[in-house]
Structure 1
Amino acid sequence: MLKGIHHVAIICSDYEKSKHFYTNILNLEIIAENYRQQRDSYKLDLRLPDGSQIELFSFVDRPPRPSYPEALGLRHLAFSVDCVASMSDYLISQNIEVEEIRVDEYTNRKFTFFNDPDGLPLEIYEN
């Protein structure tokens, strides 16, 4: 049976910009970085503190994925944090636009959204 999420794969348009965002701003740990010459593509494996991973790919000439209005399929990626307000303030200090903090009407926990460099919606959700 399923035990958890091992990784989420993200295709980016600007590898260096996205690498900087996920490693220097979100502080994800680099596990491995590989250039795949046959695909003219980078694959960057990143680890979150809980052991889950993000695979960051770059491919030449990939079409944008529609996000707004919300398209059918994967809606967003959510990260758990100890304090949404603190993380929101940090992101804003890094010149990342963050939506207003809201409270989940069912759990009473705080959350908000921001975007990665390609406009992928990301959420921070308070533990």
Structure 2
Amino acid sequence: MLPGLLHVHHIAIICSDYAASKHFYTQVLGLHIVREVYRAERQSYKLDLALNGQYIIELFSFPETPPRRSRPEAAGLRHLAFAVADLDAAVARFDALGIPYEPIRTDEFTGRRFTFFSDPDQLPLELYEATEPQL
């Protein structure tokens, strides 16, 4: 283990449509805004978001963002997973908002249910039903 390594501090996401992504991460997923800064010299917003009081995501915008290959199975970060206590309630909210998601599957090793969906830039995201930390 790397000496002093504690935990994941944050995840940085660059979006192509700042308003759409800000709405998605705050209004759909329910993350809370910690700080929002416009950096004029870079023509860029930086939005710090927290989940249950824990700083988790930096959302960035830039004037021009090249698309990133994310499917099928491109090298690099595969997806970002959020733990939920009740997957049925979460996908019911997606249904109400018209947000598409993949059919619910069951993890063959843990027996927990999960589904994949995408953010406005098609970043693959997952909801994983877990009531306690899984190692």
Work out whether the TM-score is over 0.5. Answer: yes
> What letter is aligned with 1:92?
D
User: In structure 2, what is the equivalent of residue 99 of structure 1?
Assistant: 102
Matching of residues 1-127 of structure 1 within 5 Å: 1-49=4-52, 51-127=54-130
Structure 1 residues 56-90: Cα deviation after superposition (integer angstroms, max 9, x where no partner): 00011111110111210100000000011211111
Structure 1 residues 78-114: Cα deviation after superposition (integer angstroms, max 9, x where no partner): 0000011211111121111011100000000000000
Question: Aligned partners of 2:34, 2:54: CA distance in 1, in Å?
Answer: 11
**What is the aligned residue count?**
127
Where has structure 1 moved over 2 Å in runs of 4 or more? none
RMSD (Å), alpha carbons: 1.0
Any stretches of 5+ residues in structure 1 without a counterpart? none
Any stretches of 5+ residues in structure 2 without a counterpart? 131-135
Secondary structure, counterpart of 2:33 in structure 1: strand
> What letter is aligned with 2:39?
R
Question: Identity rate of aligned residues, in percent?
Answer: 57
Give, in angstroms, the shift of residue 52 of structure 1.
Answer: 3.8
Question: Aligned partners of 1:5, 1:52: CA distance in 2, in Å?
Answer: 10
TM-score w.r.t. the length of structure 2 is 0.91
